[in-house]
Structure formats: structure tokens, C-alpha cells
Amino acid sequence: MVLETTRWDTAESLRSPEYIAAYLEVVFEEGDPAHIGLALDNVARSEGLGEIARKAGVSREALAAALTDEGDPRLSTFIGVMKALGLRIVAEAA
């Protein structure tokens, strides 16, 4: 018997701003830059990568390249994406 599976796309499960914020909070706490890039990619795709890129002031292609496990987005891109997603960056003591 062959087990059939369905491809899971995290972006499809990110439906509310609260869920998105909680998801990113966990990834940021982990602190792995590769995971942060992938998480931001998931969130940007859930909201529409082209629209997020436009709001962040970068091309869709540049954003897609930056938000990979090997990408290293500029701080201005990171901040632009967070603002485009309606999120803010908060610093707190560890």
C-alpha cells in the first residue's frame, strides 16, 4: 500500500495577523538567520509576495532572493517587509 501525502505550505496556514506575529516571534526567539529568512518568505507569500515587495520598496525578484535560507536581506529590506506586513520590531531584554 502506497501512502499518499500532501505537500504542506506554511504560507497557506498564516491567516491572521495574530498568528503571523506568533509564528515570527517563535522564529525570532530561535535566532537562526536562515529560519528567519524562510519564515519571512512564508509570511510574505501568505500576504502576496508581489504586494509585500511593492510596499517594502523592492522588486519581487529581489525580495524572493533575499528571503531564502541562503539569502541575507539588508536591514532596510527587513524593516520594509515588517512594515509592509503591518508588524513592528520590538527590543526587549533577554
- Per-residue model confidence as pLDDT tens digits over 5-60: 888 888 888 888 889 999 999 999 999 988 998 999 999 999 999 999 999 999 99
Segments making up each domain of the chain, as ranges: 16-84
Q: To 5 degrees, how large is the angle CA 39–CA 64–CA 70? A: 65
Q: What is the pLDDT of residue 10?
A: 87
Its pTM surpasses 0.85:
no
DSSP-assigned letter for residue 86: T
Q: How many C-beta atoms lie closer than 10 Å to residue 5's C-beta?
A: 6
Q: Please state, in angstroms and rounded to a whole number, the distance separating the CA atoms of residues 84 and 92.
A: 22
Rounded CA-CA distance 30/35 in Å is 8
**CA dist., res. 9 & res. 42, Å (int):** 8
Work out the pLDDT band at 72, boundaries 50, 70, 90.
confident
